Amino acid sequence: MRSDNVKKGLNRTSHRSLLRACGLDDDDMKKPFIGIANSYTDVVPGHMHLKDLVEVVKEEVLKNGGIPFEFDTMAVCDGIAMNHEGMRYSLPSREIIANTVESMAMAHQFDALILMPTCDKVVPGMLMAAARLNIPAIVITGGPMMPGKLNGEVIDFINVTEAVGAVQSGKMSEEELYELECAACPGPGSCAGLFTANTMACLTETLGMSLPGCATAHAVSDHKVEVARQSAKQIFKLLEDDIKPSDILTQEAFENAIIVDLALGGSTNTTLHIPAIANEVDDVDVTIDLFDKLSHQIPYICSIRPGGHNHMIDVENAGGIPGVMKNLESLMHTDCMTVTAETVKENLEDVCDVNYDVIHTIEEPVRDEGGIAVLYGNVAPNGCVIKQGAVNEDMLVHSGPCKVFNSEEEAVVAIENDEIIDGDVVVIRYEGPKGGPGMREMLNPTAAIMGRELFHVALITDGRFSGGSRGPCVGHISPEAAAGGPIGAIKDGDIVSINVPERTINLEVDDAEIQERLKDVKPVERNLKGWLRQYQQLATSADKGAVLK
């Protein structure tokens, strides 16, 4: 066993002495050591229930003859970190999480890992660590929260963010907003729509790193408890058969994940996280170009919030991710290995109870193309992304005058002062991985625009978007302004044209003029210290997954 490095032989006597202080005896020294990476915290709704769920996992590990060692890693709630300096730490936390899990697993030589994430950066961070370590591992994502209810309507967190803009523009009273605030998030779990956390859970299951049904098993459900119990039991099968992440995280598995992502209309943050996970695996090549190639081939078959009206509970009741994959089976690589110790094809053999009103067939999709599109042009030579599944048909092609801001805060003030009108293109720059630093999510500006019912305003940024953003929002513009990207040359009044069907985004200014303007651009400087300063020095661009180099 790998753990023999810390518990076997004369030279490990002192190690055993310390392990005995943790409560182990002679028999325990003969058992596999199972590391349990728990991201429990009191301040994040998606993680608060993991304190209880981990006890189920530890009990099952003991029952099956292993020794569970729980350790904690961090979790940032993007909703709470939104629209202030704290959001700069959200994306960088992914790297801390990956490094924490790697450090604990290497220092203590665990034989296998059970990973328990829920929210946006924690899921990819733990998957990055699993790929890097390449020891048997299984993921138990924490599960969605139930949607809220108010006056007979089903609601969620995004209703609240957009309602703030409605109040500011006089379309809703503060009393109505308060009722919404109190009802939208009724308990533990990741926010109830197909935002980033739930998208990543769905893709973890599709990759084969969590058990079928795990992604949509809700945080407070008996189903989630049973999935956790079965996952803890299954880690011993992975150990016995020596099935490691490298056996599961293949090129074909990543393509499957992108196929499901496009079919669901998932968060654009996946174009950061999937390449970042793939970056940890040898002989795998995943870029945003792969997303774009597949987006022309894969239909959008699930209309889930924010792009539609359904919530994750509807997907769970309709058949979950196994139901989605069953409908996409003819388009997927079905010979991929999974943590069930069986292939995708074998996992799908008994899947038959699918609600086609929620999970459409590929013959009768919601839309013919996948939910994410990658655009190129003189604004974004290295590409940018848009969640086309959450854009109204009449805004898939748009051209308008720019209103340019060098930070999220500046843009929000202009929106709140009614300086943005229908037809405008809002430009927010110096919010990329280096320029931010940390590539903040622009949920507040997009929600403010939608709350004011400015449905014909586009927003482009070298920052990124919450999985809950909707509308013509173009993010991840690469190169970013801080790296000398052309977005830094845009001036107020310039015309930017966006054509999603043709996959283009262009500034209607001569290329020579753009280059001349860039000579005079002075990047925004920030007084940084600590972790953010280190991150800024190491972060790559969004089209590379914003990984550290």
Residue 63 has a pLDDT of: 98
3-state secondary structure of 540: coil
pLDDT for 83 beyond 90:
no
Give the pLDDT band (50/70/90) at residue 376.
very high
pTM attached to this predicted model: 0.96
Q: Which of 77, 539, 543 is nearest to 289 (CA)?
A: 543
Residue 415 has a pLDDT of: 96
Q: What are phi and psi of 439, to 5 degrees?
A: 55, 65
Give the pLDDT band (50/70/90) at residue 210.
very high
Average pLDDT of the segment spanning 156-169: 93
Give the pLDDT band (50/70/90) at residue 346.
very high
Q: Which of 531, 471, 427, 547 is nearest to 165 (CA)?
A: 471
pLDDT for 324 beyond 90:
yes
Instruction: Produce one character per residue of 222-257: b if its CB has 16 or more CB atoms within 10 Å, e if not.
Output: ebbbebbbbbbbbbbebbeeebbbebbbbbbbbbbb
Question: Which residue has better confidence, 470 or 496?
Answer: 496
Give the pLDDT band (50/70/90) at residue 276.
very high
Average pLDDT of the segment spanning 411-425: 96
d(CA 122, CA 132): 15
d(CA 304, CA 308): 4
- In the block, which residue shows the tokens 């629209």? 83
- E strand map for 334-484: 373-375, 383-386, 397-405, 425-428, 458-461, 473-478
The verdict on whether residue 121 carries a ligand-binding annotation is yes
- Say which of 90, 466, 478, 497 is annotated catalytic: 466
Average pLDDT of the segment spanning 122-149: 98
Residue 317 has a pLDDT of: 97
How many helices and strands in the chain, by DSSP H and E?
Answer: 21, 14
Give the pLDDT band (50/70/90) at residue 307.
confident
Average pLDDT of the segment spanning 100-124: 98
Q: Which amino acid is at 288?
A: I
Residue 8 has a pLDDT of: 97
pLDDT for 255 beyond 90:
yes
Residue 532 has a pLDDT of: 96
| CB-based contacts of 324, cutoff 8 Å, min separation 6 | 202, 260, 263, 264, 301, 302, 315, 359
Q: What is the rounded average pLDDT for all residues in the chain? A: 96
Q: What is the pLDDT of residues 224-246, one digit of tens each?
A: 999 999 999 999 999 999 999 99
HEC readout, 27-94: CHHHCCEEEEEECCCCCCCCCCCHHHHHHHHHHHHHHCCCEEEEEECCCCCHHHHCCCHHHHHHHHHH
173 is catalytic: no
The residues facing 375 across adjacent strands are 384
Average pLDDT of the segment spanning 180-195: 97
Give the pLDDT band (50/70/90) at residue 468.
confident
DSSP per residue over 374-400, as a string?
EEBSSS-TTEEEE-GGGS-GGGSEEEE
Residue 432 has a pLDDT of: 97
> Are the CB atoms for 434 and 483 separated by under 8 Å?
yes
The domain 373-544 having CATH identifier 3.40.50.300: the answer here is no
Q: What is the pLDDT of residues 4-16, one digit of tens each?
A: 999 999 999 999 9
3-state secondary structure of 338: coil
Class at the top of the CATH hierarchy for domain 31-147+186-348: alpha beta
Average pLDDT of the segment spanning 498-511: 97
Residue 206 has a pLDDT of: 98
Residue 332 has a pLDDT of: 98
d(CA 286, CA 309): 31
DSSP per residue over 185-226, as a string?
--SSSB-SSSSHHHHHHHHHHHHTSS-TTTTTS-TTSHHHHH
| Domain ranges, ordered by start, for the chain | 31-147+186-348, 149-183, 373-544
Average pLDDT of the segment spanning 22-49: 98
Residue 39 has a pLDDT of: 98
pLDDT for 523 beyond 90:
no
pLDDT for 265 beyond 90:
yes
Question: Do 31-147+186-348 and 373-544 come out as alike in CATH topology?
Answer: no
pLDDT for 108 beyond 90:
yes
Give the pLDDT band (50/70/90) at residue 450.
very high
The verdict on whether residue 242 carries a ligand-binding annotation is no
Give the pLDDT band (50/70/90) at residue 107.
very high
Q: Which of 444, 399, 398, 361 is nearest to 80 (CA)?
A: 444
Residue 40 has a pLDDT of: 98
Give the pLDDT band (50/70/90) at residue 462.
very high
